[in-house]
Structure 1
């Protein structure tokens, strides 16, 4: 059997500035890149026209083509990671497996199982930091504990960033790639999925846009955000390169990258937040969970234009503007008193840039249940949010063409009544 080293792609679908791949190619010979379409993850996706799976498939085809230009290829398998590694152990004499770390609960348990399997075969499993600037545990408070509040975390993060001078990695040693002819690639249909019509945002770091980000980011009618969420989620761009641009051009944009790492840290230290409130007392809230009202929210038919525009944008594009995400989440949890977990699950199903840590953190922030959350008594008024951020109704009219007609529904709840009900419900639950 031929001796090889494996590099396992996961949330790092790029060849440049990829830490694990770089070190594999620096230190080993016959490096064969691998990607596993993980059956454990894919079987949980109800919609077989899931654009995120298509996005991954597209990126892999591009990586595979570029590797083939270098005389190698990409090995792509469909199955559980245990099944795939068991099969590869029988086919190759694997020396070492390189990869980049992931901090989600499933990923950590998966890697632990693969590490055990490989150790049983006397194979090293080497994992590197790649999808973050600082890992959970690198930014701690004076007592050596994780931060529960964002502002001191971000101060510490920035100070450490300036001291560390985070570097991007040079070009890997491509000569050490495993030499092979093109390997087969399963079609989307072969892994149980199908193509969609959703457009993917381009992988462009727009420096002009980033330099004005603090002035444009809150206005959904403007092209004021980078739309790089999906690329950060699947690692098609390097967070180190993006942070360098942000640090040079716009502190507000850099702050968004710090929020991303704050929520990753919260999830890593508190895996229970996946299905429970970070603040346990908030699990006592008696959510109304009216299914008809939830459906109206999902379909963008609440009678609150800024909310409905956001939900329709999400449904039609797989994207929702960040300011509007906060408005629709506040509306669901406060105006309708529907459990934040319902909204979080809906976003998880629809968002192209879905990231467990950020989605969970954002929803718990809006509901008041999370770490460093929006206090429960602060409730967004959809009308005043519209007045501030979409005064000319350009965003709203783009998604609600029937706005000024009888076809557009009346509000499903009165704002003043809903606000008072939410305040009363939260207050009583927290006083128990």
Structure 2
């Protein structure tokens, strides 16, 4: 143990060493830095889902290796964060703790309470922004309130924020922790067993994996992002969302990479801006949750709390298992279960089917996504589900009901996506693929499809589900519901 008292660096959702303000500040003290990760499942108000824990397991391993390469050791502890940090301060003599702030309301409140309690014991807690382009509350309307519509928020965000200063390279960091007790990551049991359902997870968690994903994206799909991002059968998205959620890469690094590609003439500025807008939507979600903490459990637009949701356990199970009888919906739900991720266009389709066609409360869908997505982010998840349900901010037109047949035909016209994830329909021709119940009997026979046996019939007819949803919307005082298919 170094003779000079160390400082503690508390990792949370900032599992990287580059572009890390809290790490830079800790190193600037000139003291040894003891890096620690605490598994406190109550810290953010809800326990991480199973897919998130799978990712965390791998990301912590990579972070530990990076710290070990710099002569240190990542200390792992499990339990209430305040107690663990107090114990570590006593064990090491540290009187300062550096961290990246969390902005979810429950987590932010816990951080404030923790900092107050430790300060009374002579331990200073210093927080930095390491997860967003700018902290909530820094982008306001002309009247000083929070933005509730995305487009003006994005303009204000990009106009008001500037890239953070270049931070010193952490390659020369002096990490400590060799003499500090640490849990065994294996004993945390974050990787699933009995059964291990993660066999199809094709991901490379960790900082190096994040940087490589960004490099691949800016070198290829970014050039046609505006078009390819809506085609689930194409490799047209960045797949950065889990890396951003766990802070293996900063959002500023992603924005700067897109801008640099535009400035270098590799892509048009408009295409770079389209990707940057997606980072902005993530930001919008975080800012909304910080301003309106009730939206995790209640509708952003309060009249929607009177929505006459249906109790339909069988329908919910069919949706979760990808057995609704609508191929693009089933493909998305099976992709989610198999890989821990779902294409963004398909997320909108499957969410609309649950809340509109089945009239099942969006909170059931949000909970399922929270458990099964490797990029499960509370702010983005809640905001996206409420947007589809029509109850969220900037959710116009609220009466939009995605037609799962035409959505499949439009965005998966060659059937590549459906055939991959619903292989029992693989031999069915494009004409019938997205509505197999409309195919003649001989076509189904030749394709080896037995409706109701090898593949389910639709659990609700599109027109019936659509009309039921419009009637439900009318009951909560929305008289504009002329209705339209998307």
1:68 Cα deviation after fit: 2.3
1:19 Cα deviation after fit: 1.0
Q: Which residue of structure 2 aligns with residue 315 of structure 1?
A: 337
Provide the rounded CA distance (Å) in 2 between the counterparts of 1:184 and 1:52.
22
Alignment of 1:18-29 (within 5 A): 18-29=20-31
Q: Which residue of structure 1 aligns with residue 470 of structure 2?
A: 423
Task: Classify the secondary structure of the residue corresponding to 2:6.
Answer: strand
1:180 Cα deviation after fit: 3.3
Task: Classify the secondary structure of the residue corresponding to 2:203.
Answer: coil
Match of 2:280 among 258, 266, 272: 258
Alignment of 1:17-416 (within 5 A): 17-40=19-42, 50-161=50-161, 164-172=162-170, 174-178=172-176, 180=178, 184-191=182-189, 194=192, 196-197=198-199, 198-201=201-204, 202-203=209-210, 204-205=213-214, 206=216, 207=218, 208-248=220-260, 249=262, 250-403=272-425, 404=428, 405-406=449-450, 407-416=454-463
Provide the rounded CA distance (Å) in 2 between the counterparts of 1:227 and 1:116.
38
1:46 Cα deviation after fit: 9.1
CA contact (8 A) 1:73 1:183 kept: no
1:113 Cα deviation after fit: 2.4
Provide the rounded CA distance (Å) in 2 between the counterparts of 1:158 and 1:328.
31
Indicate how the Cα distance of structure 1 residues 44 and 274 shifts in structure 2: closer, same or farther if over 3 A, else same.
closer
Q: With structure 2 as the length reference, what TM-score do the two structures score?
A: 0.83
Gapped regions of structure 1 (runs ≥ 5): none
Q: C-alpha offsets along residues 240-292 of structure 1, whole Å, 9 cap, x if unaligned? A: 11110123331110000000000000000011001000000000011012111
CA contact (8 A) 2:52 2:372 kept: no
CA contact (8 A) 1:22 1:173 kept: no
- Let me know the Cα RMSD of the aligned residues: 2.2
Task: Classify the secondary structure of the residue corresponding to 1:376.
Answer: coil
Provide the rounded CA distance (Å) in 2 between the counterparts of 1:261 and 1:44.
21
Provide the rounded CA distance (Å) in 1 between the counterparts of 2:34 and 2:69.
14
Q: C-alpha offsets along residues 92-142 of structure 1, whole Å, 9 cap, x if unaligned? A: 222211101111123112212220221111221110111111111111110
CA contact (8 A) 1:7 1:21 kept: yes
Provide the rounded CA distance (Å) in 2 between the counterparts of 1:97 and 1:360.
31
Q: With structure 1 as the length reference, what TM-score do the two structures score?
A: 0.93
Of 188-197 and 420-429, deviating more is 188-197
Gapped regions of structure 2 (runs ≥ 5): 263-271, 429-448, 480-486
Q: How many residues align?
A: 428
